[in-house]
Chains A and B, each alone.
With several copies, the nearest count.
Chain A
Amino acid sequence: MIRVQEEDFDIGAELAALSAGDTSIGGVASFAGLVRDMAPIDGTVREITTMTLEHYPGMTEKKLVAIEAEANDRWPLAASLIIHRYGTLAPGDQIVLVACASVHRQAAFDACQFLMDWLKTDAPFWKLEDTDAGGVWVDTRDSDGKAKLRWANKPDPAS
């Protein structure tokens, strides 16, 4: 399931709902992304007062559905969840939640990382950080592109 929303989410309730009623599930891997209070901007670490997430309504949902389907195609998942917020957030606020439930823990972990890597490089969201030097659009990180490349090959089903 995917959701794009302005409201906050309750991780405990979301994870409970994900595995509810399916006792074949052996584990749930999850990742919650939070707004950080500091960021390096043009070589200077600056304090972040708020972060505003812009997105492309329509395309965002379409891409998230496709990414989730791809993860379910690659790994034997019992359930998966992507929640991504937009709007103005403060340091410590939750931005994103990805969770994958599977019979096997490695599949749950791998699918969860795969989804996060794809979100960073392919989901149409943009972050504007408000700092004492004004509003600064977050730049793409080289490491995110590299992180995505490791999924270029499908996983070995035997592993």
Chain B
Amino acid sequence: MKILYFAWMRQRIGASSEDIDLPDSVNTVDGLVDWLISRGDGYAQAFAKRGVIRAAVNQEYVQFDHAVANGDEIAFFPPVTGG
């Protein structure tokens, strides 16, 4: 599974993307976030305000109860500020 991070999430985690093998126990965005937070302080800081973070699965916005599976492209980022 490919995970992408943007803006200040990228900065806090220290990576713009990573390829991970999804543990069998993880099957939602929420579960993925819990698992990522367990990996270190950078993740914990990046996901501290979970309510403001947006997620996309395969380049479509999703809610955090959305399913995830190996092979998906997942992205996490702050609210967008384009235009």
Contacts and interface: CB of A to CB of B under 8 A. Distances in A.
Interface of A: 33, 53-56, 58-59, 62-63, 84, 95-96, 116, 119-128, 137-140, 144
Q: How large is the interface on B (under 10, 10 to 19, 20 to 34, 35 or more residues)?
A: 10 to 19
A121 B59 CA distance: 15
A119 B6 contact: no
Given A126-B7, A128-B7, A140 B56 contact: no
Contacts of B10: 54
A53 B6 contact: no
Contact of B78 (A96, A120, A137): A137
A55 B6 CA distance: 8
11 contacts: A59-B59, A62-B59, A84-B82, A95-B83, A120-B80, A122-B61, A122-B80, A123-B80, A124-B80, A126-B81, A127-B81
Given A56-B75, A58-B59, A124-B56, A137 B7 contact: yes
B82 A137 contact: no
B3 interface: no
Interface string B39-83: 000000000000000001001010000000000000101111111
Nearest to A63: B59
A125 B10 CA distance: 13
Interface of B: 4, 6-8, 10, 56, 59, 61, 75, 77-83
Nearest to A98: B83
Contacts of A55: 82
A121 B78 CA distance: 11
Nearest to B75: A56
Given A54-B7, A56-B6, A56-B77, A126 B82 contact: yes
